[in-house]
Structure 1
């Protein structure tokens, strides 16, 4: 008989780094404790903190559903998981809840697989009780992806005009918007930058300012990549000049590039900004600038996010598509095209090419 689940297993996602470290500590001599600590660091680096938090939350959601049904989440049962994702799709996973989107259900399923794997009891996602149900959910409920609105160059200029003039906060926000747009960076990549290489433990990359622009070195899901951000045609919209001005007046020469401005806007903290601040900045500036004024304020709140900057670059850069693909770090041109909001879709007309 399998060991019954402990209360902490039912109510929280496992800290895999700690679990592995404790397992190693129990199995290995004391003089190998340093390797145990190193193993903990590597396990934590295997996935982002946001991913671990999401997986922990999904595990709690699943265990709570099991408890209400009088069922046990352990050992893994494909039949049980199939019923769970059915409940998620129908809005019956929690009392008075709403039906989850297909994307949310797929994430929850990934979370279950991850959590079960950490416990040494893998879940077979290819089992027909899961795979067939999931296929039916996709066929029934899948909808086209809801794309965020692209911030185009004219929108960005208007947004820059709404920022606080002559304040450190305004200078910081200007630099973040321009670098995020010109580099096609994700919000986590923007706030994860340091002034130089290996300056902080939580940094995701660093910058090097050159005569003709700036090289951004980033650590992504598939390894390291470099992004080149050239100087703009004017100081007002040059991302490199904006960053240099912010660093100079904020007196930042080491550590995180973008930090919280405290007090009355005259003090700069030491810790890096949270990536959610980028999304808030884009939303706030877009609303203040009247971007997409044809929409209601609520609709505009939903339309704009940190991804609007990446979509803006992809939609605006009049260059060969492969250069945009490389800048955004996409593995395929098809992914880059998903970001392009105003590309010429009929540049290649196969109807005429076929003689019709």
Structure 2
């Protein structure tokens, strides 16, 4: 929250997300380390960088920094820094200059040309997440035990996490930001999930995603919502005994979405996806975006789908892939993913569904 007596600088920084600010500050530390003469493998202490200015800096020095990073290699000969990372360094340096009233170096010809040259000569294939298609999702969910007294809480949470991520095409940060107040069960339709702020909605206008009821209880997101809500409420009301009682006889084989949330209600401000202790009990704290990817990879591996390529983005990529293969239009997909540019969807077409809208399919080969 911005305090009532906030300065103009505080408001200016509030124009960017906290994650962006943290990333910029981290990148500026890298620039400060370089200016101080530290090599990549050398450790620097905070006090050693205190007097190192990152703005204003002559554009030729910024260009030298970028070239040095572009030329850095790993022990195996691979590039240490991708062009995207180097571009982010320029954005951070420009931000620091602009907020201090100086001309951003990235707008000068020398920095602009050096960056363009790095992109052309140091480009590397982007490693994209493996899409978790509907078949893979079903296989994964069926391997989750939601009745075990030791792991049932984690299993119930992960089952809901994967379903929400796929059906709602959520970003990891959007999933972990969901609170009890953001979710509403609508009879005959499904779960309405309010995304209060996202990558493409930094002003916090908010939008609704609908998690539709599924014919199969295993892939019915409203069932997962009810199951997890009632389980957390049981523990919060009656402790460990309440949790164990709710886990007894739990199953993914039958629909529970029509049962409602029950008499016990959770606090509106509580995170919906809560951390689970090593004892199998829900904590009051939410999970991090990183935990989403770990859950996807862990569950996919347990289902025999391999270890490589899985991440939190696999769920969103899987949704777009399945939607495209089903003939969904750009507008229909964007209504759920909340992409703001249809051109972004072409990346998914190239990577995950290359035969969709491809002229080769019209040929009689």
Q: TM-score range by the shorter chain?
A: 0.7 to 0.9
Q: Cα–Cα, structure 1 residues 37 and 260, in superposed 2: closer, same or farther, change >3 Å?
A: farther
CA-to-partner distance for each residue in 1:86-110, whole Å, 9 max, x for gaps? 01100179xx995310111011111
User: Which residue does 1:194 correspond to in 2?
Assistant: 179
Structure possessing the higher relative contact order (Cα contacts under 8 Å, 6 or more residues apart): 2
Q: Cα–Cα, structure 1 residues 128 and 92, in superposed 2: closer, same or farther, change >3 Å?
A: farther
3-state SS of 2:36 partner:
helix
User: Which residue does 1:248 correspond to in 2?
Assistant: 230
Structure 1: stretches of 5+ with no match in the other structure: 1-16, 22-32, 197-205
Matched, 1:215 2:195: no
Shift of 1:228: 1.6
Matched, 1:310 2:316: yes
**Equivalent residue in structure 2 for 1:110, among 84, 87, 91:** 91
User: Which residue does 1:154 correspond to in 2?
Assistant: 135
Determine the C-alpha separation between the residues in 1 that align with 2:67 and 2:32: 15
RMSD (Å) for aligned C-alpha atoms: 2.9
Q: Do the aligned residues in 2 keep the contact of 1:195 with 1:253 (CA within 8 Å)?
A: yes
Shift of 1:142: 1.7
Number of aligned residues: 302
Determine the C-alpha separation between the residues in 2 that align with 1:39 and 1:231: 47
3-state SS of 2:106 partner:
coil
Determine the C-alpha separation between the residues in 2 that align with 1:263 and 1:344: 42
User: Which residue does 2:166 correspond to in 1?
Assistant: 181
Determine the C-alpha separation between the residues in 1 that align with 2:176 and 2:91: 27
**Equivalent residue in structure 1 for 2:214, among 232, 255, 264:** 232
Matched, 1:261 2:282: no
Q: TM-score, normalised by structure 1?
A: 0.77
Determine the C-alpha separation between the residues in 2 that align with 1:193 and 1:273: 10
3-state SS of 2:285 partner:
strand
Matched, 1:99 2:80: yes
Q: Cα–Cα, structure 1 residues 71 and 178, in superposed 2: closer, same or farther, change >3 Å?
A: closer
Q: Do the aligned residues in 2 keep the contact of 1:247 with 1:253 (CA within 8 Å)?
A: no
Q: TM-score, normalised by structure 2?
A: 0.75
Determine the C-alpha separation between the residues in 1 that align with 2:103 and 2:137: 48
Q: Cα–Cα, structure 1 residues 207 and 45, in superposed 2: closer, same or farther, change >3 Å?
A: farther
Determine the C-alpha separation between the residues in 1 that align with 2:186 and 2:120: 51
Structure 2: stretches of 5+ with no match in the other structure: 39-50, 234-265
Determine the C-alpha separation between the residues in 2 that align with 1:260 and 1:187: 15
Q: Do the aligned residues in 2 keep the contact of 1:76 with 1:122 (CA within 8 Å)?
A: no
Determine the C-alpha separation between the residues in 2 that align with 1:240 and 1:150: 22
